Structure 1
């Protein structure tokens, strides 16, 4: 072997060791209200997500990633602190005060020498200034990623949070269909009526997913330009589920099961597929461990041993929510606790007399049934109150009706969680075992609802916005809504005030 070749091999080995010893950057890309499985690599044949799909092929694709809570603020707080929502005190609600008594991975990395920053939606909505924070807990705000990189000290590792507002509502109606997507290609979840107006609403949601994916691609290409792609942990995910009835703000899969890919060549083999359960509380300890720090007082566990092929106890995941919007008289929460495994979902509703989607008339925020964002899908289901067709689900009750204290669903046979088996004696053993596991988790993690299921703690916490909203004229919204395809295709479609449930 020639002297020159030996020298080159030694040099390559040196550079490889330098890369491996260098603290990794972290690029965290988070959508707002995006549900699993709405990405091409998950098998959705309509929505186009080439950048998410690329990161999955070059890294790890997660099939059972779950948000800690199906609500923006508590979900993002758990990402940052590595703690479950009920452990974050005020941080367990939407629009709260930031729980500054708990450190974040961003703050800990900053102390360790990382350059930190964020753009657009970080932690929130809520008030972090009243908690003494100089900037959003997700990082100091920058106009964009490029500006952040210009300010970065030479050679400093960084962590950057890109918080999109997509696919959060409101939508510009008909953006999806006019971009070339077709109504007939939409797979409508079983808890929605299947009609053209609902399909069009889903297309508009898809349009914003695609926009988020394009922006992720722009940041990834910037990493390639500066030569930092392979030394950066790239995460693409969402905070909670799609902004539709029985999805966002609910513990059913369309509220809690999230798209997730992670790329980091040093630890993850390309094309890795993870079927084990992971929770968003796992992000913070994973990031800290990657930077050589020891996570403390965090409930999550690092993902790197799992991604290195080690066996971990990840056969189930725990879920929860408290007050989402302020939509019940008395500022009341709607508490839920849940446990999900590969076969079943068990949900405990300790205050079943309360309205899960909010009061039928506006209390303070959003409007009627205010835990559900306004949309044509919501309004059409509201129009179905008391109108149930033979052989069809009661869409109104599924979206807005009160629920029993216990719910149990067989995910394999009932993927949309429509048939509650909690009262079926043949599933009594399963229900008992899952409830016991849930209670044990609540006890171990210090959940106040273990000792006092009817605690009003989260009812009494400050709700930070001071606006007062009014009831919306949803019947007019239905009459005014139009499905307007691209010019030269099918004719304009109207939404009737009372669409038959068995269409």
Structure 2
């Protein structure tokens, strides 16, 4: 048989089409987000009490981050920044808790959906807040499913997916003694330096650990499903939290226990097992990273893609920027307590443009939560409230640290002062450092269009709608303390429980 030029061309095309490597499938994305979990509360970070085998596994098989920071230590603005790749003040109404969704900005979920991704979530997505008023049919994090199994069942054959698992752990309220009754011990707990160190505070932390462990177990179950369907290695798995632990001077604050987050990422295509990243990462980086993985260029996002960074390239980022506006509605007049900050490897500089306002909320309930309502109710909070004016000379003033007024500027050496207890802003020998960090912060605010750059006293976030409509009452703090009991599983006092010690008894 004589092959004509035409037949030779056809044969050549046929042969090449069968010898080329098949196109790679776009990666799936599994985003696992806790609610109120702080760094360093995971086994791989060195915590000797909390048990986090799933998180530790992801770190061992992927990358562990030691300097990952939420954009804001408050649920709604943090989650909005994850989805949009924009800082909270760039998200306008999305900069507040219990806000209205800023639908004018696309999310990585909506953009991937346009590319053919199947998207979904279970439990807590973006929020709390109102997305329906913005014209959305479902939560910005995806359409809601009862669980991951139902989502996978409904997934079209061969479609890449992005799934958001939003746990409610370790958000309060806690069932007292769930931690200690699993066998964890009060004496093993490391108490942060801004809490009084007594058994009831330690027991409260054990209950917080109990819910971290439950989140970790559930994440492990989702990962097992990926293994069962053979898609583990083609899935980007991110495990993190939205903001810090629900304790005084942590959640809703720009100190490390409010903003520094656990983070592990597994994706064998880009991330070598056992990678440890000490450089700064911000939550605004998630959206552009996910889009980059799907080969879509992000637009109008402030974050950076992390994948080249994982291969050893530098992000050229020597600091991370932090902020918050109105958390709960806890000041008369619906007022925010605005904060802006820059965190470097050695220093944390915080600017409080309205220091005349109460940082933790009014001492009596305004609308929501209760006294000092930017701090979630807990035995730790109530014990510290009882310490007002009772601090011993050799102890930190726990009440002032949690609830007291704050100056316009704060500066902390985070290396020598990891709990950020000693404000250096007024010390003359730190004047040059403070000036440099303040200028960095102002430059960032100007570059990102922060309204507080032009008008530090702006009332924009005060005037935005607070979506829930209820009126709460003050809590009987003395009764809460009186009723609290530690009930270990064994021992002579197990029946009635051990009452709280005096709040200032260390």
| Alpha-carbon offset, residue 305 of structure 1 | 1.1
Match for 1:495 among 494, 500, 506?
500
Q: 1:201 aligns with which of 179, 191, 204?
A: 204
The residue number in structure 2 matching 1:340 is 343
Determine the structure 2 residue equivalent to 1:432. Answer: 435
Q: Does 1:323 align with 2:326?
A: yes
Match of 2:232 among 229, 234, 239: 229
2:487 to 484, 489, 501: 484
**Alignment pair present for 1:160 and 2:163:** yes
- Please state whether the residue corresponding to 2:284 is helix, strand or coil: helix
Specify the SS of the correspondent of 1:208.
helix
Question: Aligned equivalents of 1:447 and 1:155: distance in 2?
Answer: 42
5+ unaligned residues in a row in structure 2: which ranges?
A: 1-17
SS at match of 2:172: coil
Please give the residue correspondences for 1:81-230 in structure 2 after superposition, counting only pairs within 5 Å.
81-230=84-233
In structure 2, distance between residues paired with 1:378 and 1:15? 66
The residue that corresponds to 1:365 in the other structure is 368
Q: Structure 1, residues 65-96: CA drift from partner, whole Å, max 9, x if none?
A: 00000000000000000000000000000000
| Structure 1 length-normalised TM | 0.96
Could you tell me how far apart the structure 1 residues matched to 2:206 and 2:285 are?
32
Alpha-carbon distance between aligned partners in 1 of 2:317 and 2:169, rounded to the nearest angstrom: 30
Offset at 1:17?
Answer: 5.1
The residue aligned with 1:76 is: 79
> What residue in structure 1 maps to residue 393 of structure 2?
390
* In structure 1, C-alpha distance between the alignment counterparts of 2:145 and 2:468, rounded to whole Å: 24
Task: Give the aligned partner of residue 409 of structure 1.
Answer: 412
How far, CA to CA, are the matches of 1:79 and 1:463 in structure 2?
Answer: 21
Secondary structure class of the residue paired with 1:214: helix
* TM-superposition CA deviations, 1:394-426 (whole Å, max 9, x none): 000000001000000001110000000000111
Query: Does 1:472 find its partner at 2:455?
Result: no
The structure whose Rg is larger is: 2
Q: Deviations over 1:285-310 (max 9, x none)?
A: 00000001000000000001110111
Alignment partners' CA distance in 2, 1:202 and 1:194: 11
SS at 2:350's partner residue?
A: strand
The residue matched to 1:62 in structure 2 has which SS? strand
Deviation, structure 1 residue 487: 2.7
Counterpart-to-counterpart distance in 1, 2:70 and 2:62 = 20
Q: Which runs of 5+ in 1 are unaligned?
A: 1-13
CA deviation digits over 1:116-156, x for unaligned, max 9?
Answer: 00000000000000000010000000000000000000000
1:49 aligns with 2:49: no
Task: Report the secondary structure of 1:259's partner residue.
Answer: strand
Change (3 A) 1:388 1:156: same
- Report the count of equivalent residues: 487
Aligned-partner Cα distance in 2 for 1:243–1:490: 29
Partner secondary structure for residue 65 of structure 1: strand
The aligned counterpart of 1:381 is 384
- How many angstroms does 1:348 deviate by? 0.2
Aligned residue for 1:52, secondary structure, equals: helix
Match of 1:27 in 2: 30
Distance in structure 1 (CA, Å) of the matches to 2:21 and 2:210: 43
Kindly state the Cα deviation for residue 315 of structure 1 after the two structures are TM-superposed.
Answer: 1.5
> Take 1:379 and 1:15, find their aligned partners in 2: how far apart are those partners?
70
- Offset at residue 488 of structure 1 (A): 3.5
Show the 5 A alignment for 1:454-473. 454-473=457-476
**Normalising by structure 2, what TM-score?**
0.95
Shift of 1:493: 1.5
Task: For residue 353 of structure 1, report the CA deviation from its aligned partner.
Answer: 0.5
TM superposition shift of 1:490: 6.1
- Cα distance in 2 for partners of 1:380, 1:309 equals 47
